Structure 1
Amino acid sequence: MTRRTPPRPAPVEELFPEVVPFRREAVRLHPRAGRPAPGDSSVGGPLLWPAREPWPDCPEHPGSPMVAVVQVRRADVPDLVPFPEGRDLLQVLWCPRAHDGQWVVPLVRWRSAAEVGEVRQAPPVPPEARYGQVPRPCVVHPEPVTEYPSWDLPDTLWDALEPRVEQVEAQTGWDYQFHLSTAPGIKLGGYPGWCQEPRWPDCPTCRAPMDHLLTVDSTEDHDCRLTWTPVEDRDLRRKGADLSLGDLGGVYLFECRACPGRPFAHRYDA
């Protein structure tokens, strides 16, 4: 079933034309409980992982297997996130156990589905996995959406917009950050769904700011009015990925597309 995010409840570009140059496209994955196959795009589903390749363990907990978080086929999403040449499958895993100072330790793999061959079955989830760190198996319904920055707006621009933002909220009840700017949920591209001050990473090799690759958020809608919830379904408690990251926060993955191997980094907040 197609999922459609409702239009923003207020005309963003009319109210705040200054944010138009910062507009970005994202792909919301809209995970819903299901039975994805290893070759499908999925959240928490079986991965198309080669049998000849060992299943990854957590570098901080040797012998403790990582769990599948996201798998995306290039054919299922628009060309908003450039896949590496010769690769048509993005796979993200992480360790669901407790770590010193961070929620999860992720791993990113780009591969060619045609080169996988025999598929390895995932090992059991480690018994020490924390609550809410293992997504339930979900099929996905990718949808392109337009986003505008909130925390990532330049400070000088935010200072100029803040009085108007407050005026719009007082008149309409719609908050720019939560209702009009960045989409919550699990998504490719666009802007990270920061809950706090941004901590955008620089590439450790070239020192350039990294590109946002993926947001894995605890919920698809943080607001009780469900302004970001697809019109086709409003009961996400039973249908989503059932994640609980920190205080219903998110994990954000970044990559450097200019350096060999596409090094990645991650951030998280509540």
Structure 2
Amino acid sequence: MDDHLMGSDLGTGVARRRTPPRPVDVVRFVPGLAAWARDTVRLHPRRGVPSSTESSVGGPLLWPVDEAWPVCTQTHQDLGSGLPSSSRVPMVPVVQAFRADLPSGVVSFPEGTDVLQVLWCPFNHEFPASPWPVVFWHDSAAVRAVLPAPPTDPAAASRHVPAPCVVHPERVTEYPSWDLPEDLADAWQDDFRRLQEAIPLLPFSGFAEAPGIKIGGYPSWFTGQGWVDCQGCGRRMDHLLTVSSWECDGASWRIWLPLEDRDEDDGRAVPVDPTGLDVGSVGSVYIFECRACPERPVAHWYDSD
């Protein structure tokens, strides 16, 4: 069994969710992948009633009362989801993650901050044709009073507004599939062939990167890479967060659905759509940041199956 996939310290106050071990030890078959391993934090959102002082998906944010709530003033596209009723669209909470709730060493928080907050405009935009995310980092100790979220624009598509979910952060190790350089993939093709023989009917891409909503690690691309270069310094940005429509689908659940969410009798999946999100055609929004620039600029990409 592949012990690189086991869960570890989960932070305070969160119930454990454990991704099963991979069916084989990937590095034993493809030793070169060891140097390319990255840790990610799977958030494992599940329906609940989180508070503003808890990590969550779609829950209330610990937003300072003296700081204006983010709004979107960009041009929106009607791609079957309608147009906003106002030119200033309130952003909706997507992810809040406190450093204390996350496994150590995976997420790089800017100095003086301990909470990551991601919101997005729930309407489609010209490019990419998806919700438009924004990223904020706050110091929770400096928030003396909380500003409640404004009402969601009534024309917003419900599939772009995540249901309130508690989270169960879990550290797992990923390997690149799309992001493995072509020359290495060619050089290791015999190793990959032996790996495929050991796990027939399961392509490597299906268990290389974790699906679902996750922080850090590798993006789980659908159709191809969508990396973004920083407009300030020109370097390729780092993957910060993936927001996926589903935690896992009808194929990937065998690898990625936590043990606690499986039927005891036949092992089949129980929940696969806890947030109610459906971005495009069950797609994902990938959020990137440039850690080389002091202001930590962000950008995003959208992809679907």
Interval containing the TM-score (normalised by the shorter chain): over 0.9
Distance 1:119 1:224 in 2: 39
Cross-structure match for 1:124: 151
Cross-structure match for 1:201: 228
Quick one: which amino acid aligns to residue 94 of structure 2?
V
- Answering whether residue 163 of structure 2 is matched by residue 140 of structure 1, we say no
Post-superposition Cα deviations, 1:165-218, rounded to whole Å, max 9, x if no partner, equal 456435532210012x00001111100111122121111111111111111111
How well do the aligned residues superpose, as a CA RMSD in angstroms? Answer: 1.6
Could you tell me whether the CA contact under 8 Å between 1:29 and 1:187 is conserved in 2? yes
Could you tell me whether the CA contact under 8 Å between 1:182 and 1:192 is conserved in 2? yes
Could you tell me whether the CA contact under 8 Å between 2:227 and 2:236 is conserved in 1? yes
- Answering whether residue 103 of structure 2 is matched by residue 75 of structure 1, we say no
Distance 1:25 1:147 in 2: 6
Could you tell me whether the CA contact under 8 Å between 1:103 and 1:246 is conserved in 2? yes
C-alpha distance 122-260 of structure 1, shift in aligned 2 (>3 A): same
Distance 2:137 2:124 in 1: 26
Quick one: which amino acid aligns to residue 40 of structure 1?
E
- Residue correspondence of structure 1 range 100-249 to structure 2 within 5 A: 100-101=126-127, 102-162=129-189, 164-165=191-192, 168-169=195-196, 172-173=199-200, 174-179=202-207, 181-222=208-249, 223=251, 225-234=253-262, 235-237=270-272, 240-249=274-283
Q: TM-score, normalised by structure 1?
A: 0.94
Cross-structure match for 1:266: 300
Distance 1:127 1:163 in 2: 55
Quick one: which amino acid aligns to residue 254 of structure 2?
L
Bigger shift: 166-175 or 185-194? Answer: 166-175
Cross-structure match for 2:17: 3
Aligned-pair CA distance for 1:146:
0.4
- Answering whether residue 84 of structure 2 is matched by residue 58 of structure 1, we say no
Could you tell me whether the CA contact under 8 Å between 1:96 and 1:133 is conserved in 2? yes
Bigger shift: 64-73 or 241-250? Answer: 241-250
Bigger shift: 223-232 or 104-113? Answer: 223-232
Quick one: which amino acid aligns to residue 126 of structure 1?
D
Could you tell me whether the CA contact under 8 Å between 1:31 and 1:141 is conserved in 2? yes
Distance 1:225 1:73 in 2: 27
Quick one: which amino acid aligns to residue 163 of structure 2?
R
Q: 1:188 aligns to what SS in structure 2?
A: strand
Could you tell me whether the CA contact under 8 Å between 2:226 and 2:301 is conserved in 1? yes
Quick one: which amino acid aligns to residue 9 of structure 1?
P
Could you tell me whether the CA contact under 8 Å between 1:192 and 1:212 is conserved in 2? yes
Aligned-pair CA distance for 1:160:
3.2
Aligned-pair CA distance for 1:131:
4.1
Distance 1:214 1:261 in 2: 18
Could you tell me whether the CA contact under 8 Å between 1:187 and 1:214 is conserved in 2? yes
Percent of counterpart pairs with the same letter?
Answer: 50
Aligned-pair CA distance for 1:246:
1.6
Distance 1:38 1:197 in 2: 36
Cross-structure match for 2:265: none
Q: TM-score, normalised by structure 2?
A: 0.83
Distance 1:51 1:44 in 2: 19
Long gaps (5+) in structure 1: none
Distance 1:177 1:67 in 2: 32
Could you tell me whether the CA contact under 8 Å between 2:243 and 2:286 is conserved in 1? yes
Aligned-pair CA distance for 1:118:
1.2
Distance 1:32 1:154 in 2: 35
Distance 2:186 2:259 in 1: 34
Long gaps (5+) in structure 2: 1-14, 76-86, 263-269
Quick one: which amino acid aligns to residue 73 of structure 2?
P
